[in-house]
Structure 1
Amino acid sequence: MSAQTDKVVHWLLSSLEPRSELFHVGQYCGDWQASTAGRAKASFHIVLHGSMWLHFADGRESIPVSEGEAVFLLRDVPHWLSPDPINPKVGTAAGDQPIERRGTMQPLDESISGSVGLACGFVEFQSIVSRAIVSLFPEILIVRHGDDAYRGIHVLFDLIRVEGQRGIDEPSPLIDRLVELLLFYAVRDAAHHDTVTSGLAALMQRTGFNTLVATIIESPGDAWTTDSMAAFANMSRTAFYKHFSEASGHPPMQFVTLIRMRLAADLLQQGLPISRAGEMVGYQSESAFAHAFKRTMGTQPGAWRRQRDGLSQSAARLH
């Protein structure tokens, strides 16, 4: 991976801001069917022991998932899990019947033959920026045994399994943090193979675009315009706008604003004054910066910093 691509991956990871929410941890036995679909949220399924199949309501090919593997569904994809490799909805009209849930989750016990241990839940991406970035991701990320990332993250599966054995009534809150770490590793591994997002992957594969994106991240305060970016990429304005928008999923200046606001948020969290943070990402007017920040992040810069300061203080009290 080039230094420019690596810089974009680092920015991508720092921009995700995921918050995991465990739904349940335990195991199913016998005939069962489960799903996290229908709640308008991203979700995850981590196989702690045994194996299962991931089925889709649109009839796409079912996916086997085994012990020590994980699935992150980054959209509310109609799906269900089961021990049966045959998709029961193949041949039916999409949406003609609700997803049926069967079986009762029991405490983890690997000694029971045929059981499947699972940790399942939801992931919320907290800022408008992170949700915009995730909108470029494929619907599904899967962590496999054979992935390059697996060598570094297999311990996370072991820790989740240990925490899950504490019981299904009051599962350990540490599982949420471990799932977030697992997602970071999954995204980084996929990004290193240019498969995380069709947008960033396409940008990074195009000569001129990869260096451009890295330079924008490095120098967000420069006077970037569509014309200057087109010149940087040695393209006409019309061709640049078309190809960049198609690749990233955003018009060029909207993409620049996403980068600027994320970097500004980091500067605010470091304690810089609002005016200085705005200046460093290209805004001479504090009011213009505040307007752009609110439009992108969903809140005013001062309110965002106070909220983050409150979260940091709460975390410090927990420790």
Structure 2
Amino acid sequence: MIDPLAEVVTLLQPSLRRSKLVSAAGSWGVRQAEQGNPVYCLILEGSCRLTLGDEEPMALQAGDFVLIPAWRDMLLSGNEPPRPEDIDRHPVELANGEHRQGTPEGPHEVRFLAGLCEFGSPDAALLVSLLPRVVLVRDEPRLSTLVQLASDEARAQRPAREVVLANLLEVLLIEALRSTADASPTQGLLRGLADARVGTAIRHMHESPARPWTVAELARESAMSRSAFFERFSREVGVAPMEYLLSWRMALAKDLLRRRDGSVAEVAERVGYGSASTFSVAFSRHVGVSPAVYGKSASAPVAA
């Protein structure tokens, strides 16, 4: 059966935009001011605190990997609240390329890799809405090897270090999403997949997006009554079943049109519409332009 999380990650087209190796001591704080991109942090040594908006600070320790798929007000700081004048102070760049925050001399209290990722898909906002607001991975044996490799690579001055780090961090990003699929605290795809009944319905929709699904049929596949299924799906995923299906069909259609993988009529058939005209009306309502116009204006290269 098709893996919905793998499909979402593939369509997101994650990549590393930039990263920094940072060490810090004393009073310091880094506030993320750029919006629209996922932020990550991998703690290599020591400990620090992460504060999201008005929430209570989150203690981070060596080996923790944090991913925030959609930027929000974020402050990374030492274990003691920083003085206002020490927040966003320009770091000192050391000879090894490391950026030092807080007290410039002496031993560091924490060392971490931090930076911005990038989702290449024009549908990133839709797809990110299916993910948790924040992903924290710790004490996860599967990730220990990746964390160690990234840590070793960050400390070394080997040729092509940035290329290796970029690829390691992309894998870490995907593994982080996979590892939280069974315990996501927020509504979205991961929490839906963790629910046996709701997860069954999601997998069926991804496996056969062209099938003329109804709520009753999905409920039957999930061995639930129609009303109980509708309420449970909406509670776990955050949207109604048919709304999720429509959004997924449109994401698939946009990807096919961007890659020019078939005519409008063929794309319509592949995403569950009986005619090109019906599909065009639905697509135009959802996207704001017709499939033909979208396909011509898309920037992706023609598929071979």
TM-score by length of 2: 0.75
Aligned partner (choices 55, 58, 77) of residue 62 of structure 1: 58
Would the alpha carbon gap of residues 288 and 272 (structure 1) be closer, same or farther in structure 2, given more than 3 Å must change? same
Q: CA-to-partner distance for each residue in 1:227-271, whole Å, 9 max, x for gaps?
A: 433344454444433332222111211101222233445555383
Asked if 1:180 is matched to 2:170, the reply is yes
Task: Specify the alignment match of 2:201 in structure 1.
Answer: 212
Aligned ranges 1:87-236 → 2 under 5 Å: 87=81, 100-102=87-89, 104-107=91-94, 108=97, 113-114=107-108, 116-127=110-121, 129-144=123-138, 146-154=139-147, 155-162=149-156, 172=162, 175-191=165-181, 193-195=182-184, 198-236=187-225
- Report if the CA contact (8 A) 1:26-1:164 is conserved: no
Structure 2 CA distance for aligned equivalents of residues 78 and 236 of structure 1: 41
Task: Specify the alignment match of 1:21 in structure 2.
Answer: 17
Task: Specify the alignment match of 1:92 in structure 2.
Answer: none
TM-score by length of 1: 0.72
Stretches of structure 2 lacking an aligned partner (at least 5 in a row): none
- Report if the CA contact (8 A) 1:27-1:118 is conserved: yes
- Identity across aligned pairs (percent)? 26
Shift of 1:279: 0.4
Structure 1 CA distance for aligned equivalents of residues 118 and 10 of structure 2: 15
Which moved further from structure 2: 214-223 or 32-41? 32-41
Structure 1 CA distance for aligned equivalents of residues 176 and 108 of structure 2: 28
- Report if the CA contact (8 A) 1:74-1:134 is conserved: yes
Would the alpha carbon gap of residues 243 and 163 (structure 1) be closer, same or farther in structure 2, given more than 3 Å must change? farther
Structure 1 CA distance for aligned equivalents of residues 151 and 290 of structure 2: 39
Structure 2 CA distance for aligned equivalents of residues 156 and 227 of structure 1: 47
Structure 1 CA distance for aligned equivalents of residues 278 and 151 of structure 2: 46
Task: Specify the alignment match of 1:274 in structure 2.
Answer: 264
Structure 1 CA distance for aligned equivalents of residues 281 and 212 of structure 2: 18
More strand by share: 2
How large is the RMSD of aligned CA atoms in angstroms? 3.9
- Report if the CA contact (8 A) 1:294-1:301 is conserved: yes
Shift of 1:128: 6.0
- Report if the CA contact (8 A) 2:64-2:137 is conserved: yes
SS of the aligned residue for 1:149 comes to: helix
Shift of 1:214: 1.3
Shift of 1:184: 1.1
Structure 2 CA distance for aligned equivalents of residues 98 and 284 of structure 1: 62
SS of the aligned residue for 2:300 comes to: helix
